[in-house]
Each structure stands twice: as C-alpha cells, then as structure tokens.
Amino acid sequence: MTAPISAKKLSSVLSIDAKNHRTYTSKHQVIGDYRTGPLSINDWVGVPYGSFYSWYDDFDLWAFCNSVKIGDPVRIANADGRAEELAKWIVTTVHSTVPSGGSNDPQNNISRDNPIDDPPVISGSFSPFFKPVHRDKDGAQIMNTAKHPYTPPVEDEFDHLTLNISYNTANINLANWAAFRSTVNSTGIWGLEARQVKLKRWGWKIQYAGDQFAFIKHDFEFLISLEATPAVANVCTGSSYADKFGWYTVRPNSGMVYYDSGTFDVDHELEFKDSEDNVITTPSPLACDGDRGDPSADQKWNIFAVEKEQDFTSIPGMPNPLPGPFV
C-alpha cells in the first residue's frame, strides 16, 4: 500500500491507581488509502506492542504498550486531486507500568517499575521423603539384642525443611550457576551454621519488561537440616564433624571383617563368627582401630562430609538475613 497522507497524535490521558501504577491511553489518527490493512496502520503509527511510552517530549521508560486497538476506517472525501479512495483510522494505544508478572509490593502499595528492584518472594514448607535410619531419636544405634544392626536398615518417613526464594537480577553467569550444583553452604547464612543448608534447585528463566529490557527470574529451593551428628567421644572417622548440625553422612563403624589387634595385613584379617564358628552375615561393631568392637561399649560412628561446599552469600542477589516477619 502507498504511504499514508498523514499520521499524527491526537490525545493522551494518564490515570494513576492506588499502587501508583501509571496507565496512558493515547489516540492517534491515520489518513491513507482505505484498502490499507490494520497491520500497516499500526506500523505507520509507530507504537509497537511492548514499546515504552513516548509523547512528544514526555517519556515513561517503564510504561509499556500492552494494548493496541485500530478502529473501523471511515471513508473521507479525496483531497488534492488524489485518485485513490481515502479513509481515516483512529488507533488507541495503552501503555501501563502494571507488570505482566506482578512487579510490585502489594503489602506496601509501592510500585517498582524496574523488575530487578522487586523484593524477594519467600516461602517455606515441609517436604516428605523416606530414608534409611541407623539411629533412634536419642542418637543410639538401631540394632537387635545381639547388638547387630538390622539389614537392610529400617526406613522411615521424614520431612525436609524447605525454603523457597524467588527474585530477579539483571543477568546471570552460567559458570557461576553451574558451580553451585549439589552443594551445601560453606559459611553461615540466615542464622544457620555451615553445612545446614543444601541447594536443592536453582531454576532461572529469561523474562522481558516491554520489548527490549531482558532480565533473569531466579527460583531457589533450599533444604535445611537440623539433624545432629554423634558426640565426639563416639566418633572414629570424621571427629571434626562431631557435635554439629547439618548435612553429614553418618554410618555405624561396623563391618563383616576385622583386623586382629588393629594390624592391617592379610594374616590379621578375620571374619566375625559366632560361638559355633559360623560366619556372621550381618555387620558387627568395630573398634576405631579396625579390631573387633566391644559389644558392651557404646557404638562407634563414622561421619563424612560428602556434599561440596559453596558460599551461598556470594550468589548474586541472595538476601541475608531473610526479610520478613520472623521471630
């Protein structure tokens, strides 16, 4: 189609709601060949969907076009000796700072134009799971009257403490994101000690404010452990992890063989046997030196810090302390 005879701005009206969101309703007029389609009319107006508000010398960089309406063309008399049949279109555009994803703080009735200024969204829950159980509620090993642990171990249902945090940042470093996979906290955070917080999930996606401004929305899921490790007096391996709370792997110091007098060679490697010289097929207690354990003594434990550690406070944008009405 031929270019329009004219495309001009007619009026623009501003309304501001209780949350200080700004909405601009503007009208434009286009005169041209009546056979012109509405997409071309929209192009001639020059207000694409998602663009920020601009009216002569007035700009609102966080009010984005979210609605365009092109009315029915009205035929008009030809002018200036033009041969084509002409028509007039009224184009109504709406720009608003109301975000598509809720970029505001409803608790304080504050509008935040830039989505990376949004406060973090925080929630918590219990997440049930089953796990093998080696110790009872008091920390004692679960075993039969012959002081042998059950094989397979008892399984019971537990609940992880789950903390969910969502917030926005301007960008993301993919190498940094990958480095936090399957990690626990190396330093204190949110009033919790090292290794009490496990990063279960860090999801992210690219979102847009308007048609140009891209940002990253992060969704985190953390698991919090309040489980205590055994007392140091009863720990053989990993004594530095004793008397702590958090993500540690605790196993009874038991096995199918022992080393007589704690001497680690083939000649001193022996199997556990009963009074009739039959090999015992369930794990038996061991001493810390690898010798046969004293059945009447307290169970010995081994503690391992399996998960790799990262400083969670170094995650860009991670709130610490947690904002909220906590007591």
- Asked if 21 and 82 sit in the same domain, the reply is yes
Alpha carbons within 13 A on the beta-carbon side of 272: 19
Strand ranges, E, within 35-113:
52-55, 58-70, 74-76, 86-96, 104-105, 110-111
Q: Does residue 46 sit within a domain?
A: yes
- Asked if 249 and 162 sit in the same domain, the reply is no
Only one residue has tokens 């899921």, namely 221
Q: Does residue 149 sit within a domain?
A: no
Q: Does residue 121 sit within a domain?
A: yes
Range of the domain at 282: 232-304
- Asked if 118 and 206 sit in the same domain, the reply is yes
Strand 6-16 and strand 22-33: the pairing is antiparallel
Each of the 327 residues of the chain gets a pLDDT tens digit; together they read 567 788 999 999 999 998 889 999 999 999 988 889 999 999 999 999 889 999 999 999 999 999 999 999 998 876 666 667 889 999 999 999 987 654 445 444 455 678 888 899 999 999 887 878 888 888 788 888 877 778 778 788 888 899 999 999 999 999 999 999 999 999 999 999 999 999 999 999 999 888 788 999 999 999 999 999 999 999 999 999 999 999 999 999 999 999 999 999 999 999 999 888 999 888 899 999 999 998 888 889 999 999 999 999 999 999 999 998 888
Tokens of 185: 């906290």
Cβ–Cβ under 8 Å, residues 280 and 225: no
- Asked if 41 and 60 sit in the same domain, the reply is yes
Q: Does residue 165 sit within a domain?
A: yes
Q: What is the pTM of this model?
A: 0.75
- Asked if 215 and 251 sit in the same domain, the reply is no
- Asked if 174 and 208 sit in the same domain, the reply is yes
- Asked if 122 and 200 sit in the same domain, the reply is yes
Q: Does residue 326 sit within a domain?
A: no
CATH code of 69's domain: 3.30.2000
Tokens of 296: 């009447």
Q: Does residue 166 sit within a domain?
A: yes
Strand ranges, E, within 71-212:
74-76, 86-96, 104-105, 110-111, 121-133, 154-169, 183-185, 197-209
- Asked if 86 and 178 sit in the same domain, the reply is no
- Asked if 222 and 283 sit in the same domain, the reply is no
The residues, any chain, with a CB within 8 Å of residue 36's CB and separated by 6 or more, are: 1, 4, 87
Q: Does residue 319 sit within a domain?
A: no
- Asked if 204 and 240 sit in the same domain, the reply is no
Q: What is the number of domains present in the chain?
A: 3
Q: Does residue 142 sit within a domain?
A: no
Only one residue has tokens 């504050």, namely 110
DSSP state of 228: B
- Asked if 123 and 159 sit in the same domain, the reply is yes
- H or E segment at 271? strand 269-271
Q: How far is CA 144 from CA 136, 150, 283, 287, in A?
A: 13, 7, 12, 19
Vertex 73, ends 67 and 78: CA angle to 5°? 140
CA distance 276 to 266: 23
